């Protein structure tokens, strides 16, 4: 198993180290060889090579079986000619990572951490399927000068079809309920989106489909989060809604995500950012990275037992009261990792 690891910036290197330590421990335990190579990326890429995504990083990622990314960005590189974020967008586009999957779940034991009233959020369990290589992010023309600015929200029907099919497939493995989010009362692209969803729905007669306008969806995520099973939406709406959804769990530091292409390596990463304010303090919660590793084991390598073992060990450590600062505890990043490692060994 060849893995490209991109530690990136801020707390990225700390949590990546945690993830890789545990991956190595698992490898020994289950006798797999995980061939991990670390590449410069994001701000670290700029500092090292002047480019957030230098050629060796693109090459290493393209040739890997899977990619682990920790986090990128920070004030230091905000004014760079090519920012860490530009690097991330280029990586997504180059590898064709059109499908971003973010599970949002609130177990009873963490519901009290939610900013939402506990009773309202308890039992929340849905997946946001976000289109990741189209829409406003990449559409042309896209330019600005001192007088005016233009971005373009462009979708080909085929781009809509493949992400919507992916979402239906996921719904079939779960509660068989799909909520498509658009703004079909205003946007031309949403009209094509909605029509396409309705067409593909005929291939999945078991799945119940509903359509929500993006503004109504932003309300329902707060008012009635337990009502969702699978949400599918375009790139920009998915960016906003999946981040909104992530905070209702109250535990941003615990959410992994996966991005997939038609073929080639998938990329796994925490949904949170690089948190420059707490970087280097050994206090970041490595759970999101650990769960990203588990997601990779399961989805890219079909190593289900290994993934289960890792998740179980990490949850055991949390249940035993070893909690990082974001969860109200005092456990350090490295101490948490050591505890999980000890269980695995």
Ligand X SMILES: CC(C)[C@H](C(=O)O)[C@@H](O)C(=O)O
Residue ranges for the binding site for Mg(2+)? 215, 239, 243
183 classed as catalytic: yes
Q: Which of 31, 33, 75, 147 binds a second copy (CB under 8 A)?
A: 147
Neighbours of 294 (CB within 10 A): 26
Query: Directed axis angle between helix 12-30 and helix 304-319, to 10°?
Result: 120
Decide: 15 and 289 in contact? Cβ < 8 Å.
yes
Give 278's contacts (C-beta < 8 A, 6+ positions apart).
11, 284, 325
Single out the segment in contact with a second copy by CB under 8 A; choices: 29-37, 55-63, 116-124, 293-301.
Answer: 116-124
Which one of residues 158, 185, 202, 302 is an interface residue with ligand X (CB under 6 A)?
Answer: 185
User: Pick from a second copy, ligand X, none: which does 155 bind, CB < 5 to 8 A by kind?
Assistant: a second copy
Name the segment binding a second copy (CB under 8 A); options: 23-31, 58-66, 145-153, 163-171.
Answer: 145-153
CB nearest ligand X: which residue?
A: 85
The annotated binding site for substrate is made up of: 92, 102, 130, 215
To 10 degrees, the CA torsion angle through 298, 21, 258, 41?
-150
Q: Are strands 230-233 and 266-270 parallel, antiparallel or unpaired?
A: unpaired
CB of 213 to a second copy, least distance (A): 9
Of 239, 243, 287, the residue nearest 131 (C-alpha)? 239
The footprint of a second copy on residues 229-288 (CB under 8 A) is 236-237, 239-241, 243-244, 246-248
* Contact between 215 and ligand X per CB under 6 A: yes
Cβ neighbours, 10 Å, residue 154: 15
Residues within window 183-212 making contact with a second copy, judged by CB under 8 A: 183, 185-189, 191-193
> Is there a catalytic annotation at residue 243?
yes
Distance between CA atoms of residues 337 and 200, nearest Å: 44
Q: Which two tokens stand for residue 159?
A: 């781009």
Contact status: 186 vs ligand X (CB under 6 A)? yes
Question: Which 8-state DSSP code applies to residue 246?
Answer: H
To ligand X, the closest distance from the beta carbon of 96 in angstroms equals 15
Q: Catalytic residue at 215?
A: yes
| Number of chain residues interacting with a second copy (CB under 8 A) | 55
Q: Which of 107, 109, 152, 198 binds a second copy (CB under 8 A)?
A: 152
Active site residue 28: no
The answer to whether 151 contacts a second copy (rule: CB under 8 A) is yes
Of 58 and 317, CB closest to ligand X:
58
Q: What are phi and psi of 170, to 5 degrees?
A: -65, -40
Contacts of ligand X in 69-98 (CB under 6 A): 85, 88-89
Who's near 107: CB < 8 A, 6+ residues apart?
A: none
DSSP-assigned letters across all residues of 314-341: HHHHHHTT---GGGT----HHHHHHHHH
- Cβ atoms of 332 and 280 within 8 Å: the answer is no
Is 86 a residue of the active site? Answer: no
CB 19 within 8 A of CB 256: no
Question: What are the catalytic residues?
Answer: 137, 183, 215, 239, 243
Residues that bind ligand X (CB under 6 A): 85, 88-89, 185-186, 215, 239
User: Which chain residues interact with a second copy by CB under 8 A?
Assistant: 73, 83, 85, 89, 114-118, 120, 136-137, 139, 142-157, 183, 185-189, 191-193, 214-216, 218-219, 222-223, 236-237, 239-241, 243-244, 246-248
């Amino acid at each position: 198993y060849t893995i490209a690891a991109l530690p990136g910036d801020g707390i990225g290197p700390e949590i990546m180290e945690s993830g890789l330590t545990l991956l190595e421990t698992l490898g020994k335990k289950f006798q797999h060889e995980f061939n991990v190579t670390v590449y410069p990326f994001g701000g670290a890429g700029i500092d090292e090579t002047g480019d957030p995504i230098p050629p060796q990083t693109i090459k290493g990622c393209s040739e890997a079986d899977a990619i682990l990314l920790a986090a990128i960005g920070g004030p230091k590189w905000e004014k760079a000619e090519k920012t860490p974020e530009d690097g991330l967008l280029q990586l997504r586009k180059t590898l064709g990572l059109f499908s971003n999957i973010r599970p949002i779940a609130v177990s009873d034991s963490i519901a009290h951490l939610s900013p939402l009233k506990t009773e309202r959020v308890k039992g929340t369990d849905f997946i946001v399927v976000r289109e990741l290589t189209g829409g406003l992010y990449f559409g042309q023309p896209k330019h600005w000068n001192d007088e005016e600015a233009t971005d373009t929200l462009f979708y080909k029907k085929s781009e809509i079809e493949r992400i919507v099919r992916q979402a239906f497939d996921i719904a079939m493995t779960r509660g068989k309920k799909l909520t498509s989010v658009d703004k079909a009362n205003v946007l031309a692209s949403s009209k094509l989106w909605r029509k396409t969803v309705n067409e593909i729905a005929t291939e999945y007669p078991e799945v119940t489909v509903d359509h929500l306008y993006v503004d109504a969806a932003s309300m329902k995520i707060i008012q009635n989060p337990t009502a969702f099973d699978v949400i599918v939406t375009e790139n920009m709406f998915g960016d906003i809604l999946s981040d909104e959804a992530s905070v209702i769990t109250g535990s941003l530091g615990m959410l992994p995500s996966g991005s997939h292409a038609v073929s080639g390596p998938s990329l796994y990463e925490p949904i949170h950012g690089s948190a420059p304010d707490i970087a280097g303090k050994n206090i970041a919660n490595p759970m999101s990275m650990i769960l990203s590793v588990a997601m990779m084991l399961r989805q890219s390598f079909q190593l289900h037992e290994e993934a289960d073992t890792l998740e179980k060990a990490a949850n055991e450590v949390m249940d035993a009261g070893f909690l990082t600062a974001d969860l109200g505890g005092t456990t350090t990043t490295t101490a948490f990792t050591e505890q999980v490692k000890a269980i695995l060994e």
